[in-house]
Amino acid sequence: MRTVIENGVLWDAVTPGVRPATVVVEGDRIADVLEGHRAVAADARVDAAGRTVMPGLVNMHAHLSFMYAVGHPGDFVRRPDHLLYAHAFRISRVLLAQGITRVRDMGGPRGIHLHVRDLIRDGVVLGPHVTACGEPLVATGRHAYAICEEADGPEGVVTAVRNQFKQGADFIKLMASDDPVPADEHGVHTRPGYSPDEVAAAYAEVRRHGAMAACHVMGADAIRAVLDAGADVIDHGHYLTPELARRMAADGTYLTPTLSSYDVQTAHPRFNRGATWAADHAPLLEGHRSALRAALDAGVRLLIGTDTVGCFAEEVALLRDAGMDAGDSLLAATRWACEALGVADEVGTVEVGKRADLAIVGPDVLADPYALEDTAGVVVGGVHHATGSLVTTESHVQPDLWALARSPRP
């Protein structure tokens, strides 16, 4: 099957700027990238109509089984399995409709997201490629324990790591901090979830399996512990210090800040999490902003992740507002994420021979981050799907996940 994407402009994640180009797809591969608008023989044509053709977007912090859930997430994940599967199937299509062709699922209850990952891979369910952690590891009774495997002590966390790989996890996530909590004497609203010895033992076992070491982490002590143990990517990073940020940059450790979720959408009335939830999380805002400043100043490579309620384009916009270069913010959403996942030889750029995972978005992505939400279609594994065909039923069911996934524009 030879598909030609024509009449668009290309941002390829290799060269700066955009340019008119014609992209030729054969099977699941990019067969050619031709300069300008060219007449090329094809079995199928996709008219980009002046829009931007770019690598498929990568969401580095997702939760298929409870993203965009309305109400308290702790209550939502305790719903029966069949409801969470139905939710995850809808989320998978919504993510694909956003131009997201790859997601890193950062945890969910009872292995549901692992099964959804496999159903997508086997062609039973439509969605992006999923890399999933299984159940995160957490100290007994600590942060988000309802979706985690509780494990304590160095021996306990090693056993839990092995169990998660046995269950089919692609990588391991530690709940390395517990937050929000009442402020300590320094005004910090977080505390380490694991001791340095527990973190080191867990990540040493992860290394023996050749997998990614990931984490939910806030607070300088907890961040230092995961960096000492060799974390590949840290998520959230509240209270990151300039010293630790410089260390991350030198070590090549990535940061997924999840600004849209923590700083904006978690308290938005449309998610109905309640006044208590909003009040508990508000004190984390300044520690998040200072962390982002430290990361940008140090040159840490940032990635795009929406967590439970963040919006992808809004995340990119917030990074640009904080001073991130527009081109770098797009690399964070594509090539850098694929490098972090270890799949950059296959995807993440629009180059001949790469897997044909592409997004067709708005016409001015460098000037307007919200053009990323103006999706017309997506190509995953060489197959084109029009955005409307993926979400045509969303407005007829409740809640409308397509609407919740899109940024409330400022």
Reading the block at residue 44, the tokens are: 């199928």
- Which tens digit of pLDDT belongs to each residue from 170-200? 999 999 999 999 988 888 999 999 999 999 9
**Residue 143 region, left (φ>0) first, then alpha (ψ -120 to 50), else beta?**
beta
Q: What is the per-residue pLDDT for 39?
A: 84
Domains of the chain and any CATH numbers:
2-55+354-390 (2.30.40.10), 131-332 (3.20.20.140)
- Which tens digit of pLDDT belongs to each residue from 80-133? 999 999 999 999 999 999 999 999 999 999 999 999 999 999 999 999 999 999
Residue pair 395/403 in contact by the 8 Å Cβ criterion:
yes
Phi, psi (rounded to 5 degrees) for 93: -70, -40
3-state helix, strand, coil in the chain (%, to 5): 40, 20, 40
Whether the predicted pLDDT of 363 surpasses 80? yes
Whether the predicted pLDDT of 142 surpasses 70? yes
Whether the predicted pLDDT of 251 surpasses 90? yes
- Which tens digit of pLDDT belongs to each residue from 311-353? 999 999 999 999 999 999 999 999 999 999 999 999 999 999 9
Q: What is the per-residue pLDDT for 241?
A: 98
Q: What is the per-residue pLDDT for 410?
A: 58
Select from 343, 344, 346, 334 the least CA-distant residue to 382.
Answer: 346
Q: What are the b/e assignments for 207-223, b being 16+ CB within 10 Å? A: eeeebbbbbbbbbbbbb
Alpha helices (runs of H) in 194-241, residue ranges in sequence order:
196-208, 220-229
Q: What is the per-residue pLDDT for 185?
A: 85
Q: Which amino acid is located at 110 in the chain?
A: R
Grade residue 38 by pLDDT with cuts at 50, 70 and 90.
confident
Q: What is the per-residue pLDDT for 337?
A: 98
β-strand pairing of 233-236 with 213-217:
parallel
Residue pair 359/59 in contact by the 8 Å Cβ criterion:
no
Residue pair 357/55 in contact by the 8 Å Cβ criterion:
yes
**What's the predicted TM-score (pTM) here?**
0.97
